[in-house]
Amino acid sequence: MALREIREMGEACLSKNCKEVKEMTDRLRILIEDMIETMHAAEGVGLAAPQVGILRRLVVIDVSEEGDSPIIMINPVLEETRGEQTGPEGCLSVPGKTGIVTRPEYAKASALDINMKPIIVEGEGLLARAICHELDHLDGHLYTELVEGPLMTNEEFAQYMNDLEAEEDEEE
């Protein structure tokens, strides 16, 4: 296994439409292992193949606190969404930045697993956000296109959260 270089906003691979995976190969298995390792090393909750320069419809997601439950989704298709959540979002391809993005509260996607067997991945909250965010990557879209208000640095985001808490305290 090896860490892959994470491509950053502005690089062409992040704005391309990715191609479907037709069959599982040894190369793809290695790519998937590397993507999971790269995601965990970077402390991300998801990584799409174009973020490591591979224009294939393949994402990995792990929203577990232990970082031990990676989900592999090949050729994923968003099947259903419900509700709405508005909150902070970031991307390993946009390092050091956070933006407020509204996403569905619930999302369900169909995909293939590493053995090219059909699976359903569904979830609420962070998992729903991650599913939508990662699938967007496969169509060349970044969350920065959806940000409400400014794209914040980590310091600005910490200040934003402080202000939000102060506001909530006042309301109580």
Of 24 and 78, nearer to Ni ion (C-beta) is 78
103, burial (CB in 10 Å: exposed 0-12, middle 13-18, buried 19+): buried
35 part of the interface to Ni ion, by CB under 5 A: no
Of 91 and 111, nearer to Ni ion (C-beta) is 91
CB of 91 to Ni ion, least distance (A): 3
Give the C-alpha separation, 28 to 56, whole Å: 10
- Cα–Cα distances in Å, from 12 out to 17, 18, 65? 11, 12, 32
135 part of the interface to Ni ion, by CB under 5 A: no
Pairing of strands 148-153, 97-103: antiparallel
138 part of the interface to Ni ion, by CB under 5 A: no
Site for Ni ion in 4-33 (CB under 5 A): none
Of 16 and 24, nearer to Ni ion (C-beta) is 16
Site for Ni ion in 62-121 (CB under 5 A): 91
Residues near Ni ion (CB under 5 A) are 91
